[in-house]
Amino acid sequence: MYAPPGMPRWQHRLLLDLACNPNATVEEIATACGYKLSSCVAYLNAMSRAGLIDVAHNEDDCGRLPSTYRLTDEGEALFEEIVTADAALERLSRQRRRRQRQ
């Protein structure tokens, strides 16, 4: 899938995962993306500071406070940009393949 120029791969990957799995825990995100937990926490913190995600603290049965993450409106808009650009690139690629076959 298309990644905007200058966007780190980790940010792109986490953005896509959170778009598909809103309110995921850091453990779920790290597992889905194949990152170490400590790396994933650092990446999520950076995305939170950039205004792309919100962090919610939810109390579970054990009294711990697991954090869940979701895209902000800004993060959703960036995801939509990526999806739109990816669709445009796919159309161009199909057109190019058709021309090559002719």
Distance of alpha carbon 59 from alpha carbon 66, whole angstroms: 7
Q: pLDDT tens digit string along 16-49? A: 999 999 999 999 999 999 999 999 999 999 999 9
Neighbouring residues of 59: CB distance < 8 A, sequence distance ≥ 6: 65
Query: Which DSSP helix (H) or strand (E) runs through 54?
Result: strand 53-57
pTM of the model: 0.78
Band of the pLDDT at 87, cuts 50, 70, 90?
Answer: confident
Are the beta carbons of 89 and 2 closer than 8 angstroms?
yes
% pLDDT > 70, the chain? 91
Q: For residue 32, which of 13, 47, 12, 46 has the smallest C-alpha distance?
A: 13
Supply the pLDDT for residue 33.
93
Supply the pLDDT for residue 57.
78
Are the beta carbons of 65 and 59 closer than 8 angstroms?
yes
Distance of alpha carbon 92 from alpha carbon 85, whole angstroms: 11
